[in-house]
A = this chain, B = another copy of it.
C-alpha cells in the first residue's frame, strides 16, 4: 500500500474549490475574448535549445527537464553531462516568442493572443510558492511597429477582468521606462548604473527611505544628497485621480528627449483610458514601478488590490521592443500582461475571499420510489434540454436524506415527482436557499428553475 500524496509545491483543489477556481479562469478567458484576443496553447515541453536561449542564470536553474525512461537510460549509459532534449515551459512568453516566429507567415498582425496554461519552476519549497502554476496572459504583437494606442487597451482589459472577478477595489498603476531612463540620464546616471539604482529604489518598500538614501549616497553609488533626494521624490510620485495624474506629469517639467517621450506617452494613455470609460479610481501613475530592467522598454503595469496591498501585484506587464530576436530577424514589438492565477487564488483563499459555496450543479432530481425511476430519468433529460445542469439520484432514498445531500453539495434546487406528481403531470420544486417550495406543470417548472438561476446556466 502506497500513501497517496502530491509532490510539494503544487496546488490541488477539492471539487468545490475547483469550481470557484474554474469560474475565475472562465471570467478571465471570456474577458480576453471580449477584447478580441485569440486562443493559443503550446506544448508543455519545448526543445531545450529553443527554450533556453533567453534565460538568465536563476531561471535556468529552475527549469524542469523531461526525459522518457528510454532517454534517461541512454543518457546514463553515455554518462554525458548533456542537457536533456526536452524542458518544461517556465513562462508563456518564451513559448509565445517561439510560436510567433515559427508561424509568422500564418498569422495576421497585430497578432492578439491569449494563453491560459500552467507553467513550471523548480522553486524552493515554501508556503505560497508554487512549482506548477497557472498564468493567464494576453499580448498584442506588431510586425515592425505597434501603435502606442495598444498600451491603453491593456489596462482596459485588466479593468474589466477584475471588475468581473469582483474580488474588491483595485488600482492599475503604471509607469514608463523611457520616462525612468530619461530621468536618470538627466541626473547624469547612465548605462549599467541605471539598473543598479533602480534595484535600490525597488527596495524602498522593504528597506525604507532612510536606508535606501544611505545606500545611494554610499561608496557604491556616491550620489550627492540633492540627486538622492530627487530620485526618492520621483519614486514617490503617485496620482489619486485622472486630473491629478495629468498635473503630476506636467509638474515633472521638461527633461531629456527620452524623458519627454515617456511623459507624453503616459499622457496619451491616460486620455485614452478616460475615452474608454474606465473609472478613474481604477488607474494611477506610480513612478516607482520598474519591473526588471532588460525586457520592458515602454509602459509598465502593476495591479494591486486596494484592501490587500500585502498581496503585491496581481497582474503585471508592459511594452517590449522585440519579442523574438533569438528566433527571427523580423522585429516584433509587443505589449502584454500576465495574471498568475494559482498564486492569486491561494492568496484570496488565505484572506477568506474565495466563495466556495455554490456547486456547478443546478438541480438534483430526487428519486422517491423505484417505480418513478424511468420518470426521474426523463425529467432529468428534459431539464438538461433547457440548459440546466442536473444530477439524478439513481437510488430511492428518504427525501430528507436527498435534501441533505443537495444542501451539503451546494446544489440549490431539488426537483421531484412522487406518485401524485406523476399522475397529474406536475413537478415539485424546492429552493434550498430560500426554503420556497412549489408544485407546477412540467413546462412551468422548467421556467421556474431557469428564471431563478438567471444567467448561471451555461
A5 to B68, CA, bound (A): 20
* CB contact between A69 and one of B7, B118, B122 (< 8 Å): that residue: B122
Q: Quick one: closest B residue to A110, CB to CB?
A: B394
Residues of B within 8 A of A272 (CB): 374, 377
> Which has the most chain B C-beta neighbours within 10 Å: A22, A36, A328?
A36
A102 to B1, CA, bound (A): 13
**9-residue interface stretch from A78-86, A283-291, A412-420, A440-448:** A78-86
Q: Report yes or no: B70 in contact with A67, Cβ–Cβ below 8 A.
A: no
Q: Report yes or no: A19 in contact with B39, Cβ–Cβ below 8 A.
A: yes
Q: Interface SS of chain A: helix, strand, loop or mixed?
A: mixed
**9-residue interface stretch from A145-153, A211-219, A244-252:** A145-153
* CB contact between A384 and one of B39, B41, B160, B327 (< 8 Å): that residue: B160
Q: Quick one: closest B residue to A31, CB to CB?
A: B384
Q: Does A38 contact B (CB under 8 A)?
A: yes
Q: Does A53 contact B (CB under 8 A)?
A: yes
Those of A21-36 within 8 Å (CB) of chain B: 22, 30, 33-36
Q: Does A282 contact B (CB under 8 A)?
A: no
Given the known interface contacts A10-B43, A39-B15, A108-B408, the answer about A2 and B395 at a Cβ–Cβ threshold of 8 Å is: no
Given the known interface contacts A62-B69, A122-B68, A149-B395, the answer about A6 and B47 at a Cβ–Cβ threshold of 8 Å is: yes
Q: Report yes or no: B72 in contact with A65, Cβ–Cβ below 8 A.
A: yes
Residues of B within 8 A of A374 (CB): 272, 275
Give min CB distance, A458 to chain B, whole Å.
5
Copies in the complex: 2
Q: Does A391 contact B (CB under 8 A)?
A: yes
Give min CB distance, A372 to chain B, whole Å.
11
Give min CB distance, A417 to chain B, whole Å.
14
Q: Quick one: closest B residue to A15, CB to CB?
A: B38
Q: Report yes or no: A326 in contact with B1, Cβ–Cβ below 8 A.
A: yes
Give min CB distance, A369 to chain B, whole Å.
14
Q: Report yes or no: A392 in contact with B36, Cβ–Cβ below 8 A.
A: yes
* CB contact between A275 and one of B156, B377, B394 (< 8 Å): that residue: B377
Give min CB distance, A133 to chain B, whole Å.
10
Binary interface encoding of chain A residues 59-71 relative to chain B, with 1 for a CB under 8 A from any of its CBs, else 0 = 0111111111111
Q: Closest 5 A-B residue pairs measured CB to CB?
A: A36-B391, A68-B122, A275-B374, A10-B43, A15-B38
**Can you report 29 A-B residue pairs in the complex whose CB atoms are below 8 A from each other?**
A2-B49, A2-B326, A4-B328, A11-B43, A12-B43, A14-B106, A14-B107, A15-B40, A15-B107, A33-B361, A33-B458, A34-B458, A35-B384, A35-B389, A35-B390, A36-B389, A38-B360, A38-B361, A61-B69, A62-B68, A63-B69, A65-B72, A66-B66, A66-B120, A71-B122, A76-B81, A149-B373, A275-B377, A277-B381
Instruction: Give the B-binding residues of A (Cβ under 8 A).
Output: 1-7, 10-15, 18-19, 22, 30, 33-36, 38-47, 49-50, 53, 60-72, 76, 81, 84-86, 88, 97-99, 101-103, 106-108, 110, 112-113, 118, 120, 122, 132, 147, 149-150, 153, 156, 160, 272, 275-277, 324, 326-329, 359-361, 364, 373-374, 377-378, 380-381, 384, 387-392, 394-395, 405, 408-409, 458
